[in-house]
């Protein structure tokens, strides 16, 4: 017997994790074609990267554009994959009309904005009722800056703090069986973590229908530390809600690193990335009772939102599958244990 990993001996990731949690990928209109095979081989859940965001679905008050989102929903159905919804209420990728006044006034009032929010949520959640099993209802409502709790946004300014509770109530009304998540990034930094916990606890105290916390997981090969990740999972789990990793990627660059000279990742980067993936997936497996899904924000290194962001002219290689859709060292670390 040979130890060599033959082409046909590549295990499917979702199958490997069948007793643990779902393995998801963010997809877009293009990658459901260009990555179709690798998606089918390794993933049993998908999330639309952009196609279900407010500005793409609802560019004008009386115009909904569902074609691209529908394509992704059909892709999930054809491949027997679960579908997560992303995202209903967010300060980005949201059209200006939503916050504009009705009669030429500069800004909508609370009542108008709540009515528009409710109409949007009812239409979108209603359309995919029974197919989208979980929604990121509110995305990134917490402020990163120290000492400030909620992010300053048009939603907060016009409606007030209860826009968050209202969003969950509207989503629950539209599909009472959908699981409703609060989703955020930098979720393992202790101060932001505690602000997220304060928000979720206050929602629970008010009886708001919230069922889970989405940890985006935009991490890199240095940060956050494994200890901070573990503490975050433990503290969030104490709230009694389900947890999901919703947007996992592992940048090969440290946050401060601005270099743009690389055409491929260095051997050292790949090794460090493999160790990091190994340790975080070991942790995820230990928390399988609360962690129900791990979604990568992409599938393979040929496409990632981190190409050219936040550093222009720089490619990134944040996944466990390479640009040819083949396993990287990190893949083998998480696929066999």
> Which residues contact ligand HAH (rule: CB under 6 A)?
49, 139, 185, 216, 218, 247, 305
Instruction: Name the E strands within the chain.
Output: 22-27, 45-48, 82-89, 132-139, 179-184, 212-215, 218-220, 242-251, 291-296
Q: How many Cβ atoms sit within 10 Å of the Cβ of residue 297?
A: 23
Tell me the C-alpha to C-alpha distance, in Å, between residue 144 and each of 32, 155, 168, 222, 297. 33, 17, 22, 19, 21
Closest CB to ligand HAH among 20 and 296?
296
Choosing from 49, 169, 187, 247, which is the catalytic residue? 247
Minimal distance, residue 213 CB to ligand HAH, in Å: 14
Q: Is 143 a catalytic residue?
A: no
Closest CB to ligand HAH among 218 and 314?
218
Minimal distance, residue 247 CB to ligand HAH, in Å: 6
C-alpha 134/C-alpha 129 separation (Å) is 10
Q: Is 247 a catalytic residue?
A: yes
Closest CB to ligand HAH among 247 and 322?
247
Choosing from 49, 51, 140, 187, which is the catalytic residue? 140
Which residue, judged by CB position, is nearest to ligand HAH in the bound state? 185
Closest CB to ligand HAH among 20 and 75?
75
The dihedral through the CA atoms of 100, 106, 108, 110 has a sign that is positive
In three-state form (DSSP H/G/I as H, E/B as E, the rest C), the secondary structure along 282-322 is: HHHHHCCCCEEEEEECCCCCCCCCCCCCCCCCCCCCCCCEC
Minimal distance, residue 218 CB to ligand HAH, in Å: 6
Closest CB to ligand HAH among 49 and 301?
49
C-alpha 56/C-alpha 163 separation (Å) is 21
Minimal distance, residue 336 CB to ligand HAH, in Å: 30
Minimal distance, residue 189 CB to ligand HAH, in Å: 12
Closest residue by Cα to residue 86 from 38, 27, 37, 34: 27
Catalytic (active-site) positions:
140, 247
């Amino acid at each position: 017997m040979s130890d060599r990993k033959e082409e046909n001996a590549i295990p499917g990731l979702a199958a490997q994790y069948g007793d643990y949690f779902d393995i998801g990928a963010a997809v877009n209109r293009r990658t459901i074609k260009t990555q179709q095979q690798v998606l089918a081989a390794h993933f049993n859940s998908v999330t639309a990267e952009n196609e279900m965001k407010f500005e793409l679905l609802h560019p004008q008050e009386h115009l909904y554009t569902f074609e691209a989102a529908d394509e992704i929903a059909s892709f999930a159905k054809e491949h027997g994959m679960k579908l997560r919804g992303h995202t209903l209420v967010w300060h980005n990728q949201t059209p200006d009309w939503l916050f504009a006044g009705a009669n030429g006034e500069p800004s909508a009032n609370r009542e108008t904005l709540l009515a528009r929010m409710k109409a949007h949520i009812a239409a979108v959640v209603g359309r995919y009722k029974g197919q989208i099993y979980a929604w990121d209802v509110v995305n990134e409502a917490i402020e990163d800056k120290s000492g400030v709790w909620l992010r300053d946004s048009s939603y907060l300014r016009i409606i007030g703090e209860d826009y968050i509770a209202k969003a969950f109530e509207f989503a629950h009304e539209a599909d009472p069986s959908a699981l409703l998540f609060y989703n955020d990034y930098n979720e393992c930094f202790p101060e932001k973590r505690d602000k997220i916990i304060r928000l979720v606890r206050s929602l629970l105290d008010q009886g708001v229908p919230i069922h889970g916390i989405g940890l985006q997981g935009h991490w890199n090969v240095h940060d956050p530390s494994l200890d901070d990740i573990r503490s975050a999972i433990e503290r969030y789990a104490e709230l009694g809600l389900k947890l999901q990793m919703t947007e996992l990627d592992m940048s090969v660059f440290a946050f401060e690193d601005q270099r743009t000279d690389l055409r491929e990742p260095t051997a050292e980067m790949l090794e460090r990335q493999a160790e990091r993936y190994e340790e975080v997936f070991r942790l995820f497996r230990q928390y399988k009772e609360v962690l129900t899904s791990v979604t990568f924000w992409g599938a393979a290194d040929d496409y990632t939102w981190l190409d050219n962001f936040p550093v222009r002219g720089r490619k990134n290689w944040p996944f466990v599958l390479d640009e040819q859709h083949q396993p990287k060292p990190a893949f083998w670390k998480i696929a066999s244990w």
